[in-house]
């Protein structure tokens, strides 16, 4: 009865609710109104007026200014004009019709692109002594350049951010040290400012409590990236006794500021760095007076006028602030690179010449090289019995679970005192070690499956572990099957330096071509991003309770390569404060190398020859960036012309440029003065124009071309004579298809200008159509 009653009672209510269910649930959106006029000092009054205009605009659609006040989560008031608001679909569609509104896009999540490195880059000699001719000395260690990082915040007590020896904060700094609700945040003369942006995160379901409403970094990512770009030299750093040495930032004398825009992921399929927060951080960082922005975050690329990263970074670059961004970790598949706007500096990741090795000896005297970060060795120097996880399976477990050493799948009676073989995959690598030890193993061999191939990881396991590649895994399984009493030994891990080949491009590093604008090569360059040591969070990790707290930690990703370049950009800013972001980027790109430490072409992680879609112009070479000879410069209007070339209408252009702008007739993107040249559809022939500026002494430069396969390339003129510094010269490059080429395939070459001393190299990328 009761149930029936309930149903009868529910029916009319459901009907009543029906019309409401047509209205979509409220979501948050970014409403973009264009840039603010630049120039004159902005007063509090101006900012209030802008804010009021946002309430009035939205109020006219929602019916009241009061509702607009409830709905708006951010007003962007400095360089970006717009707001973020919680709206339903119909309201979002309505506001998009307003003539003042240039674009409306949903507030979506982006994700993080999860030190030996400076030695490898040629900044110091063996033993960590800084070379007197190093860029560090020449650029005064990045003195007083202000580097901003948009990331997960910062761990302020880290020695990497101590202000010992730093003078007063540069007076042009306008930022703040935003206090947490409960966290008293200690900024200082090194870590000069922090802010956190959580409104876009909260609007999409993120939870921020009084305890975690702070710019403090609970994840470790932001401290790692910021200390790589601008952290102090910190001596005597090691991780479990490995990789002993100093942790160093690229611009160690720089001041740093953290803008926290990334929070724990909202759900499994949604990240924790939201558009509305990212845009707010860009707008504020520009106004705070930062000199370099480092951004190890990204999402799927989209057209520039509806991409918060492209819009936010455009305004920074237009103000002369270089923005360095990670290429993403979705490699090695083609077309996976993100952060592809031509004003961004997009960084791929490659290895260092350092490995953490442990050797596996099998009972039949075969020795294999594995990777390990386990400081402890086996209890005794002798062979131990070997067992596969499948043979060590508990009675109630399945073979497919046991082979992966999942929790509760191993029988301690079978494992005790042995070396256990586990397969990589599905469960965390560290957890497999925990399960092996729980079952009583003395050591573990972690073997890759076919998909993981060559890539092995040094992890801080709780027992001696050697992580081996797929091929060696097959050998171990074959040896195990070949004998009745298989035995093995694992050596203690040790740090091996000067490994060859190095660098090679990391498997995870995202690859070109650029899916938004194929005529712009992306990534732009590669830098160290594998097993990089830098500062970390000192907050305990509830999900990894068996891991000790590490003030310094080893991480891999384009997130790690990006701040290496930000640090070098910081040095160039100190040395040449007047150089444009494009000139800085050109100097770094044209001096990059495409050969490794064997003087052979750089390889990828399968040890095949890599190309410009893997590493852009090549591997960064800091020793040469302060003296590039020539640069390919670009200014604000070059970028606008680029957008004209993409066919942007007047209203789309207004997203980037407030003043009325008339596009030059028939501007071709191929003539956009980028330091690389990409022709995605070559038919018969084409000519592209470039302009170089002499930033060195007077000199005579001669062109030399390494032709892509099936293309005849000529440069006119092929000699450029510069009488003074600052002089500009134009030239064109003609590409002609040779007979019998295969269409649809990309081919690679290079153009070099040289005066005998400087080598100004640009990659050439062509696809025959």
Ligand X SMILES: *[C@@H]1O[C@H](CO)[C@@H](O)[C@H](O)[C@H]1NC(C)=O
Binding residues (CB under 6 A) for ligand X: these are 207-209, 211-212, 236, 263-264, 362, 364-366, 394, 396-397, 408-409, 475, 478-479, 482, 684
3 state DSSP class of 28: strand
Residue with tokens 């924790």: 272
Q: How far apart are CA 714 and CA 641, in angstroms?
A: 26
Element (H, E) at 266: none
Contact status, residue 584 vs residue 572, Cβ threshold 8 Å: yes
> Rounded to the nearest whole angstrom, what is the least distance from the CB of residue 435 to ligand X in the complex?
11
3-state SS of 149-163 is EEECCECCCCHHHCC
Distance of CA 421 to the CA centre of its chain: 34
Q: How far apart are CA 753 and CA 679, in angstroms?
A: 20
> Rounded to the nearest whole angstrom, what is the least distance from the CB of residue 481 to ligand X in the complex?
8
> Rounded to the nearest whole angstrom, what is the least distance from the CB of residue 414 to ligand X in the complex?
14
Parallel, antiparallel, or unpaired: how do β-strands 292-295 and 323-326 relate? parallel
Q: How far apart are CA 319 and CA 313, in angstroms?
A: 10
Residues with Cβ within 8 Å of 430's Cβ and at least 6 positions away in sequence, in order, are 459, 460, 461, 462, 544, 546, 547
Q: Which two tokens stand for residue 186?
A: 């200690």
Indicate left, alpha or beta for 531 from its phi (over 0: left) and psi (-120 to 50: alpha): left
Residue 59 is given by DSSP the state H
3 state DSSP class of 584: helix
Q: Closer to ligand X by CB, 480 or 504: give it.
A: 480
Element (H, E) at 68: helix 65-71
Q: Which two tokens stand for residue 370?
A: 């594995």
Q: How far apart are CA 53 and CA 72, in angstroms?
A: 12
Contact status, residue 450 vs residue 430, Cβ threshold 8 Å: no
Q: Closer to ligand X by CB, 234 or 569: give it.
A: 234
Residue ranges of E strands in 261-340: 273-274, 292-295, 297-298, 323-326
Q: Closer to ligand X by CB, 239 or 688: give it.
A: 239
> Rounded to the nearest whole angstrom, what is the least distance from the CB of residue 201 to ligand X in the complex?
7
Q: Closer to ligand X by CB, 533 or 653: give it.
A: 533
DSSP letter for each residue of 593-616: BSB-TTSSBPB-TTSSBP-HHHHT
> Rounded to the nearest whole angstrom, what is the least distance from the CB of residue 447 to ligand X in the complex?
13
Closest CA to 25 of 196, 205, 174: 205
Cite the DSSP H helix spans in 72-184: 89-96, 117-120, 135-138
Q: How far apart are CA 316 and CA 287, in angstroms?
A: 9
Residue 131 is given by DSSP the state P
> Rounded to the nearest whole angstrom, what is the least distance from the CB of residue 534 to ligand X in the complex?
18
3-state SS of 390-407 is CCCECCCCCHHHHCCCCC
- In what order do the strands lie in the sheet containing 630-631? 630-631, 685-694, 728-737, 711-716
Q: Closer to ligand X by CB, 56 or 482: give it.
A: 482
Q: Closer to ligand X by CB, 366 or 686: give it.
A: 366
> Rounded to the nearest whole angstrom, what is the least distance from the CB of residue 257 to ligand X in the complex?
20
Q: Is 144 a catalytic residue?
A: no
Q: Closer to ligand X by CB, 237 or 677: give it.
A: 237
**How many residues would you count in the chain?**
769
Q: Closer to ligand X by CB, 213 or 575: give it.
A: 213
Residue with tokens 């950009």: 569
Q: Closer to ligand X by CB, 53 or 475: give it.
A: 475
> Rounded to the nearest whole angstrom, what is the least distance from the CB of residue 208 to ligand X in the complex?
5
> Rounded to the nearest whole angstrom, what is the least distance from the CB of residue 683 to ligand X in the complex?
6
Element (H, E) at 371: strand 367-371
36, 78, 119, 221: which is the annotated catalytic residue? Answer: 221
Residue 631 bridge partners (DSSP):
693
> Rounded to the nearest whole angstrom, what is the least distance from the CB of residue 219 to ligand X in the complex?
9
Give the other-Cβ count within 10 Å of 453's Cβ: 15
Give the other-Cβ count within 10 Å of 386's Cβ: 24
151, 411, 472, 596: which is the annotated catalytic residue? Answer: 151
Q: Is 559 a catalytic residue?
A: yes
> Rounded to the nearest whole angstrom, what is the least distance from the CB of residue 182 to ligand X in the complex?
11
3-state SS of 300-312 is CCCCHHHCHHHHH
Q: Closer to ligand X by CB, 231 or 699: give it.
A: 231
> Rounded to the nearest whole angstrom, what is the least distance from the CB of residue 237 to ligand X in the complex?
9
Task: Tell me the CA distances in angstroms from 564 to 337, 353, 583, one per residue in order.
Answer: 18, 16, 18
Q: Closer to ligand X by CB, 43 or 396: give it.
A: 396
User: Among all residues, whose Cβ is closest to ligand X?
Assistant: 408
Q: How far apart are CA 318 and CA 656, in angstroms?
A: 9
> Rounded to the nearest whole angstrom, what is the least distance from the CB of residue 265 to ligand X in the complex?
10
Q: Closer to ligand X by CB, 53 or 238: give it.
A: 238
Q: Closer to ligand X by CB, 24 or 769: give it.
A: 769
Element (H, E) at 98: none
Q: How far apart are CA 107 and CA 278, in angstroms?
A: 10
Closest CA to 291 of 265, 314, 321: 321
Indicate the Cα dihedral angle 661, 665, 668, 671, nearest 10°: -80
What is the longest distance spanned by two Cα atoms in the chain? 99
**Residues designated catalytic:** 151, 221, 559
């Amino acid at each position: 009865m009761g149930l029936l009653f309930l149903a009868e009672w529910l029916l009319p209510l459901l009907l009543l609710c029906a019309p409401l269910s047509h209205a979509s649930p409220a979501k948050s959106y970014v409403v973009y109104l264009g840039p603010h006029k630049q120039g004159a000092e902005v007063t509090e009054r101006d900012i209030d007026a802008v804010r009021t205009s946002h309430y009035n605009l939205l109020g006219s659609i929602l019916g009241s200014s009061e509702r607009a006040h409830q709905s708006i989560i951010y007003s962007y008031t400095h360089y970006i004009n717009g707001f973020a608001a919680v709206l339903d679909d119909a309201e979002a569609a309505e506001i998009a019709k307003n003539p003042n509104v240039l674009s409306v896009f949903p507030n979506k999540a982006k994700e993080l692109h999860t030190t030996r490195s400076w030695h490898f880059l040629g900044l110091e000699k063996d033993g960590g002594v800084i070379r007197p001719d190093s860029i560090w000395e020449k650029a005064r260690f990045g003195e007083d350049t202000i580097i901003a990082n948009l990331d997960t915040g910062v761990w302020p007590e880290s020695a990497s951010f101590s202000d010992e020896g730093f003078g007063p904060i540069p007076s042009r700094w306008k930022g703040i040290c935003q206090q947490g609700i409960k966290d008293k945040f200690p900024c200082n003369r090194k870590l000069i400012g922090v802010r956190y942006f959580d409104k876009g995160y909260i609007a999409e379901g993120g939870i921020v409590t009084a305890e975690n409403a702070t710019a403090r970094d609970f994840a470790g990512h932001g401290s790692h990236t910021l200390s790589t770009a601008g952290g102090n030299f910190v001596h005597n750093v090691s991780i479990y006794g490995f990789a002993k040495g100093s942790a160093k930032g690229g611009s160690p004398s720089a001041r740093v500021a953290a803008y926290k825009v990334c929070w724990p992921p909202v759900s499994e399929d949604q990240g924790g760095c939201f558009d509305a927060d990212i845009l707010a951080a860009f707008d504020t960082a520009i106004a705070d007076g930062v000199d370099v922005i480092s951004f190890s975050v990204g999402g799927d690329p989209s057209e520039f006028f509806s991409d918060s990263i492209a819009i936010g970074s455009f305004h920074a670059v237009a103000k002369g602030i270089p923005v360095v961004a990670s290429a993403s970790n979705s490699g090695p598949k083609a077309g996976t690179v993100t952060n592809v706007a031509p004003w961004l500096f997009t960084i791929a990741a490659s290895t260092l010449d350092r490995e953490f090795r442990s050797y596996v000896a099998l009972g039949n005297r075969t020795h294999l090289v594995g990777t390990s970060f386990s400081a402890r060795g086996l209890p005794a120097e002798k062979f131990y019995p070997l067992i596969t996880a499948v043979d060590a399976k508990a009675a109630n477990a399945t073979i497919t679970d046991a082979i992966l050493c999942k929790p509760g799948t191993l029988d301690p009676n079978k494992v005790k005192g042995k070396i256990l073989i586990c397969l990589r995959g599905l469960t965390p690598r560290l957890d497999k070690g925990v399960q092996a030890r729980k079952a009583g193993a003395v050591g573990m061999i972690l073997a890759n499956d076919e998909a993981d191939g060559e890539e092995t990881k040094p992890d801080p396991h709780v027992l001696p572990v050697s992580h081996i590649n797929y091929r060696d895994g097959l050998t171990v399984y074959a040896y195990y099957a070949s004998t009745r009493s298989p035995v093995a030994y694992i050596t203690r891990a040790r740090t091996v330096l000067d490994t060859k080949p190095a660098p090679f491009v990391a498997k995870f590093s995202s690859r070109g071509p650029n899916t938004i604008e194929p005529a712009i090569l992306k990534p732009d360059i590669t830098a160290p991003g594998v097993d990089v040591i830098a500062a970390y969070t000192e907050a305990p990790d509830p999900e990894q309770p068996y891991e000790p707290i590490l003030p310094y930690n080893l991480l891999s990703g384009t997130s790690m390569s990006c701040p290496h370049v930000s640090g070098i950009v910081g040095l160039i800013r100190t040395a040449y404060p007047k150089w444009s972001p494009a000139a800085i980027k050109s100097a770094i790109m044209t001096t990059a190398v495409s050969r490794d430490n064997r003087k052979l072409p750089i390889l990828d992680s399968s040890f095949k020859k890599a190309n410009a879609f893997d590493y852009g112009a090549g591997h960064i070479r800091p020793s040469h960036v302060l003296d590039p000879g020539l640069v390919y410069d670009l200014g604000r209007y070059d970028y606008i012309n680029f957008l004209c070339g993409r066919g942007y209408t007047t209203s789309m252009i207004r997203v980037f440029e407030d003043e009325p702008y008339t596009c030059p007739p028939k501007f071709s993107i191929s003539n956009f003065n980028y330091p690389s040249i990409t022709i995605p559809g070559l038919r018969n022939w084409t000519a592209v124009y470039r302009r170089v500026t002499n930033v060195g002494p007077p000199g005579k430069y001669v062109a030399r071309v390494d032709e892509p396969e099936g293309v005849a390339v000529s440069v006119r003129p092929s000699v450029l004579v510069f009488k003074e510094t600052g002089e500009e010269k134009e030239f064109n490059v003609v590409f002609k298809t040779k007979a019998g080429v295969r269409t649809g395939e990309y081919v690679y070459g290079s153009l070099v200008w040289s005066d005998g001393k400087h080598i100004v190299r640009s990659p050439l990328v062509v696809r025959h159509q």
